[in-house]
Amino acid sequence: MNGRTAFEIRHGFARNKVLLGNWRESPFSRWSFQNVGELVPSARVAAASSGSEVPAQDLDGLLGEKVALAGGAETVAAFLTRSDTDALTIMKAGNIVGDWFAPHMAFGARHIIFSISKSLTAILAGILEGEGIFDPQAPVTRYLPEAAGSAYGDASVRHVLDMSVSLDFEEAYLDPESAFARYRRATLWNPGGGAESLADFILSLQRLGEPHGRTFRYRSPNSDLLGILLERASGQRFAESMHEKLWLPLGAMSEASVTVDMAGTARTAGGISVTPRDLARVGEMMRQGGTANGRRIVPEAWVRDTVSTGGDTDAWQRGMMAFLFPQGRYRNKWYQTGAASGAFCGIGIHGQWLYVDPKAEVVIAKMSSQPEPVDEPLDVDMVAFFEALSRMN
């Protein structure tokens, strides 16, 4: 082995090279995105079952198929490599029909899903709404009186759910001097954290002059605030609610986790890690109108509103993501594509996707370690790729 450890041979770098200051950078992210709990404090969400997954289903028959993308035809295998895919799971009509894993990711491993965490958190909001203990039309201050004086002081829970809070904040992922960097220190995702809690940071944010509800503004603190609101409404820690109300009835086969700050507050905007198959099961539950294993998990009316009928088209068009889904909308932290298929999805930075095509009865979970947090041309290709995969299955 020429003095190199098995870890170095597999990953191309030593474990001690992966630090809190570089864990989201390539090539270290290929390992750290599967092992966030070694870098950031995390709360466990136990599996629903003590059984084991059915073995991986081979995707070999699909890998040589070509898909039409902006730059021309490309094989599925080539696109998976170009988009730094770590894992892919495809379901058709409720059955797992294929899995693919990069050499550095093992079957059954967990992977951080970044902002798809928002979509899972919103499902819990829908469940609590159905139980009558969480009202999306209520002012934020009903659940969090200390929000008065912040940007959220005159905002409703609906504004938080639909990313239409008029929040003076930018998602400056790569600027170490920005408010976003301070935000990440508060989540313990960056060096220098521990002086300010996530809640303290969020409640220090101020609003813009525009009324709430007018413009879709993708601002992650909204979704961490949602997690805090859910804890206040339910009286449970987020990880406990996720286990009891989602992971157990879903029949999740593997443990999940969520990163937490100095006070134990969950990073519900982006800190959840799950396996590809369990993520696909979430998508299948949404495709089935909120049911899994013959059991209702979230109200059907909430799912319908989230994936098809709800959302403000004008607010979406005023936002910065209309290029991706020109006819789309955003509702309850899920994207409606506006496509004839009725496709909807959850999306996370560095290439995390949960794509659901109701017409084709297809669910696709894709986990990646793309070097850039946001790659807009690749995102456009990604949508075309998912549309093509849905037609092939």
DSSP codes of every residue in 27-84: TTHHHHTT-GGGTS-EEEE--S-SS-PPPPPB-HHHHT-EEEETTEEEEHHHHHHHTT
Say if residues 258 and 239 touch (Cβ distance below 8 Å).
Answer: yes
Compute the distance between CA of residue 388 and CA of residue 393 in angstroms, rounded to an integer: 9
Residues 6+ apart with CB under 8 A from 348: 112, 113, 114, 115, 116, 117, 270
Q: Give the position of tokens 């999940």.
A: 256
- DSSP one-letter code for 96: E
> CA–CA distance from 331 to each of 15, 65, 216 (Å)?
40, 34, 10
Phi, psi of 296 (to 5 degrees): -75, 130
Compute the distance between CA of residue 34 and CA of residue 367 in angstroms, rounded to an integer: 10
Compute the distance between CA of residue 345 and CA of residue 363 in angstroms, rounded to an integer: 9
Residue 371 burial (CB < 10 Å; 0-12/13-18/19+)?
A: middle
| Ramachandran class of 235: left when φ > 0, alpha when ψ lies in -120 to 50, beta otherwise | left
Compute the distance between CA of residue 24 and CA of residue 84 in angstroms, rounded to an integer: 14
Residue 369 is among the residues annotated as catalytic for this protein = no
Instruction: Name the catalytic one among 32, 42, 115, 254.
Output: 115
Compute the distance between CA of residue 184 and CA of residue 269 in angstroms, rounded to an integer: 11
In sequence order, the β-bridge partners of residue 156 are 139
Phi, psi of 65 (to 5 degrees): -70, 150
Residues 6+ apart with CB under 8 A from 334: 119, 122, 286, 306, 307, 344, 345, 346
b (16+ CB within 10 A) / e for 132-156? eebebeebbbbbbeebeebbbbbbb
Q: Give the position of tokens 């930075």.
A: 349
> Which residues are annotated as catalytic?
115
